[in-house]
Structure 1
Amino acid sequence: MRTERRGLLPDRADGRRRAHRGGDGAPAEAPVVDDRLFLEDVRFFGRHGITTAEQTIGAWFSVDVEITLDLSAAARTDSLGETIDYGAVARRIVEIGMRGRVNLLERLAGLIADELLRETRAGQVRVRVRKLTPPLEGLTGTPGVELTRRR
Structure 2
Amino acid sequence: MGTIKLKNIRTFSYHGCLIEEGKIGSDYVINLEVKTDFKKSCTSDDLKDTVDYVLLNKIVKEEMAIRSHLLEHVGQRITTRILDSVPEISRVLLGISKLNPPIGGDVEAVTIELKEYRSKTDSKK
Q: Distance in 1 between matches of 2:50 and 2:67?
A: 31
Alpha-carbon separation, structure 2, partners of 1:102 and 1:139: 24
Q: 2:112 matched to 1:114?
A: no
Aligned length: 117
Instruction: Encode CA deviations 1:49-81: one digit per residue, 9 max, x unaligned.
Output: 011232221101111111111011111111111
TM-score w.r.t. length of structure 1: 0.72
What amino acid maps onto 2:61 in structure 1? Answer: V
Match for residue 49 of structure 1?
16
SS in 2 for 1:143: strand
**What amino acid does structure 2 have at the position aligned with 1:132?**
L
More strand by share: 2
> What is the distance in 1 between the residues matched to 2:74 and 2:83?
14
- Provide structure 1 residue ranges, at least 5 long, that are not aligned to the other structure: 1-32
Structure with more relative contact order (C-alpha pairs < 8 Å, separation 6 or more)? 2
Match 2:94 to one of 127, 143, 147: 127
> What's the RMSD between the two structures over aligned residues?
1.3
- In the alignment, the residues of structure 2 paired with residue 71 and residue 122 of structure 1 have an alpha-carbon distance, to the nearest angstrom, of 11
CA–CA distance in 1 between the matches of 2:27 and 2:103? 13
1:135 shift after superposition: 3.8
Where does residue 3 of structure 2 map in the other structure? 36
Alignment partners' CA distance in 1, 2:78 and 2:50: 19
Unaligned regions of 5+ residues in structure 2, if any?
A: 119-125
Structure with bigger helix share is 2
TM-score by length of 2: 0.86
Q: Which has the larger radius of gyration?
A: 1
State whether structure 2 residue 33 is matched by structure 1 residue 72.
no
Opposite residue 19 of structure 2, the aligned amino acid is T
Q: Percent identity?
A: 26
